[in-house]
Structure 1
């Protein structure tokens, strides 16, 4: 007997609704049947999971603005695999990002002063809101993996003397490596293990109004190979090091770092603000023993209508996973009614959070990103292995995984402008036929309790 669990989104009024197979729309006689074939004999990457970031802004909104009951409900909906959507990857800024209430690092010093021994290093800022939420998330879902990325080193380590602009001074490479060690050790004292770090968020972009830093591929290779990795080994730290952490449009950057830094690098982190997800495969095929991670993609007002925005998260998420990524991580976990808070001087923010916390009304709203992520995270669980899924139509996008319990999860998205008839096939057997409306998403988890189909 085949046990099937189904979730469907069909427009703004019907988001991630659980259905029975009998409740799916029957196929239409005036449309050709499109076949999706699942082949579990072809396997690809193992999954770490899906998630977002507790930025300083997000953590403040959830931990201080929401009341205890709202916060408890939200954390359950985010991280509980049964009651909620079971997010399992959190990518944390190391210090201030653009979405922070103030500029801060873990070792701020007065102007013209330095601290090469890091005597003033402290993660105390994170103890107020960020660390309590991370601890609560891990209590709800112990499978969560934590990643960390700095937007900037402390200003005194940089040529600009500020967290804005500049580059890391050569004489501080080893000091900055020790900064990472102190961060990882500090979090460990709070029961928080950092699974992976990247040396620099968006290393080819230096914003003029929030923390950032240029770190060219040759510099990143030097930093990782000769400073960061040796410091990790010296301190018995097995946190992974991912390079790049930027857009798909410059695959030459990670290729250079992987070539130059070699075994010191564990993989590549990608963002979606330029290029195409096929860049992930291009680099993976050149270095197939390195991990692929997608660490940041934000929705926002630059894609204003609901349908285009929801479609973007679904379409792109499927392609990210089909191009070997072990993770799919969006950006802010929460923002307010003005798409903030942001650092002073940032200006108008157009990003969208996974949820909205209205600071005026204290209302909590789940955004389209929450429901789109749910299509992936609810049924595709950590350590699932991607298996082959092919469609007779390029516009019926799909990605399939086999979970550790033997169940198979498939995410489908109809990217055409028309309704489509879909036939889902597994091991040469037609499992189900149904009608999929234009720009609608469907997630299905199948488990055969008698192992007739799924073994």
Structure 2
């Protein structure tokens, strides 16, 4: 009854002929956390956001976060079964106030957020296994596969992608998971390794809709798995090995190029200039740790037929202030990446503990979307939870991004993006990075209303 009365009040505020507008607000002072809010009559002066649903862009696949080995272990061993079931339902469905994650990412073997370093075909130093006789999903069957199966059972629409942090050490110049490059004589073996993973995960009930060839291919970390793969190597592995093998096997799994930061758009452009490799690539994946989100569009202009994906960003204690970090995440990840073409947007770890783990090497102060205390299984919902919730809870798989234009004044601090859901509903997300409240009017077909957004606040409107 309370929700009904509130909806009626909102409808009255904007006119009897308009459909009711629901609004959900999060503020940098944490006094509002995806809290119901009310709209007002149109503002006479100030910023105007004009929505044109006839101008449509990319079709959305969803929002989500990675189920790393550390996250999966924590959820399965740091909580009771009832606690875990409740959290998984909250993350992967829209029941009640669930986030409705529809996209996730797995690591093929270990990342830094694993309790040990491993591949799926480890060999003693000096030994090789080109026929993959030693290949095994056993490490993933412990926690990652059960956690992912549960997520898929809760949300059958969930799409799962996967990325390796390193080839098995015996395929590399270092004979180690740490640092090094892929040896040319093992390009074919690495492709077989990737396809074997896809086939065996499918047999486990987990279809992999997309692969990236290598996580962060221009980075060789010194204390956890990684592998440098320059554009020429990526093109040769995709064009001569992985692409043809997936095709020969009749597998529909897509190949996404790059999977690294915004600051080096020249690298995916270079790889994609290889015509043989290009015909097997369906999209380009990006991370947030350097550069500007506009790089996504820079590459998309050259290859408009390719999908854009945003596949990793992590919050951390280097930026703990909500009033600073919440608007940054909205401007760059939720709003920025989608305005620059992203069909899907992923955070890094879905869950970490109060010590920012489990991890082995790498980041010492990364946050998960949620923090789970393994002493008692309690859950803390972090900045990332609410930032992503402003999109994932309301923007459904299959939605189209639509045009949302604003006034010419760029000093307002307002960023926005709009979507048309498959059911005909409209979603508008607005963020205010300014230090003062901002008043604005929203105009759309059959709809006109006003709102005052607090400093460092985010609001999602749906109607």
Asked if these proteins are the same fold (TM beyond 0.5), I'd say yes
Flag as ranges the 4+ runs of structure 1 deviating above 4 A. Answer: 24-29
Which of 222, 236, 249 does residue 208 from structure 1 map onto?
222
Cα distance between partner residues in 1 of 2:168 and 2:416? 43
Check conservation: 1:27, 1:421, Cα contact below 8 A: no
Cα separation, partners in 2 of 1:26 and 1:426, compared to 1, 3 Å:
closer
Cα distance between partner residues in 1 of 2:114 and 2:325? 25
Cα distance between partner residues in 2 of 1:119 and 1:34? 63
Deviation of the 1:28 alpha carbon: 8.6
**What residue number does 2:246 align with?**
232
**What residue number does 2:357 align with?**
340
Cα separation, partners in 2 of 1:61 and 1:25, compared to 1, 3 Å:
farther
Q: Which piece of structure 1 moves more, 145-154 or 408-417?
A: 408-417
**What residue number does 2:86 align with?**
73
Q: Does 1:169 align with 2:183?
A: yes
Which of 294, 308, 311 does residue 310 from structure 2 map onto?
294
Cα separation, partners in 2 of 1:116 and 1:133, compared to 1, 3 Å:
same
Question: What secondary structure does 1:300 align onto?
Answer: coil
Deviation of the 1:347 alpha carbon: 6.8
Which of 362, 366, 385 does residue 381 from structure 2 map onto?
366
Question: What secondary structure does 2:255 align onto?
Answer: strand
**What residue number does 1:402 align with?**
420
If the length of structure 1 is used for normalisation, what is the TM-score? 0.94
Cα distance between partner residues in 2 of 1:108 and 1:162? 10
Deviation of the 1:82 alpha carbon: 3.0
Cα distance between partner residues in 1 of 2:328 and 2:112? 23
Pairs within 5 Å for 1:123-142: 123-142=137-156
Deviation of the 1:432 alpha carbon: 1.2
**What residue number does 1:273 align with?**
289
1:415-434 superposed Cα distances (whole Å, 9 cap, x missing partner) = 2221111101003x552112
Question: What secondary structure does 1:200 align onto?
Answer: coil
Check conservation: 1:420, 1:435, Cα contact below 8 A: yes
Cα distance between partner residues in 1 of 2:110 and 2:33? 34
Structure 1: unaligned runs, 5 residues or longer: 447-455
**What residue number does 1:451 align with?**
none
Structure 2: unaligned runs, 5 residues or longer: 1-17
Q: Paired residues, what number?
A: 439
Pairs within 5 Å for 1:178-197: 178-197=192-211
Question: What secondary structure does 2:323 align onto?
Answer: helix
Pairs within 5 Å for 1:409-448: 409-427=427-445, 431-446=448-463
Check conservation: 1:81, 1:141, Cα contact below 8 A: no
1:245-279 superposed Cα distances (whole Å, 9 cap, x missing partner) = 00001001111111112211111000011111111
Pairs within 5 Å for 1:310-349: 310-317=326-333, 318-343=335-360, 346=361, 349=364
Question: What secondary structure does 2:152 align onto?
Answer: helix
Question: What secondary structure does 1:2 align onto?
Answer: coil
Deviation of the 1:204 alpha carbon: 0.3
RMSD of aligned residue pairs (Cα, Å) = 1.6
Check conservation: 2:43, 2:441, Cα contact below 8 A: no
Cα distance between partner residues in 2 of 1:12 and 1:383? 33
Cα separation, partners in 2 of 1:347 and 1:397, compared to 1, 3 Å:
closer
Cα separation, partners in 2 of 1:17 and 1:348, compared to 1, 3 Å:
closer
Cα distance between partner residues in 1 of 2:307 and 2:404? 21
Question: What secondary structure does 2:241 align onto?
Answer: helix
Which of 316, 322, 325 does residue 309 from structure 1 map onto?
325
Question: What secondary structure does 1:275 align onto?
Answer: coil
Check conservation: 2:221, 2:362, Cα contact below 8 A: no
Check conservation: 1:15, 1:371, Cα contact below 8 A: no
Q: Does 1:64 align with 2:77?
A: yes
Deviation of the 1:86 alpha carbon: 0.3
Cα distance between partner residues in 2 of 1:115 and 1:280? 38
Question: What secondary structure does 2:174 align onto?
Answer: coil
Deviation of the 1:25 alpha carbon: 7.2
Question: What secondary structure does 2:20 align onto?
Answer: strand
Cα distance between partner residues in 2 of 1:54 and 1:14? 30
Pairs within 5 Å for 1:444-455: 444-446=461-463
Check conservation: 2:288, 2:312, Cα contact below 8 A: yes
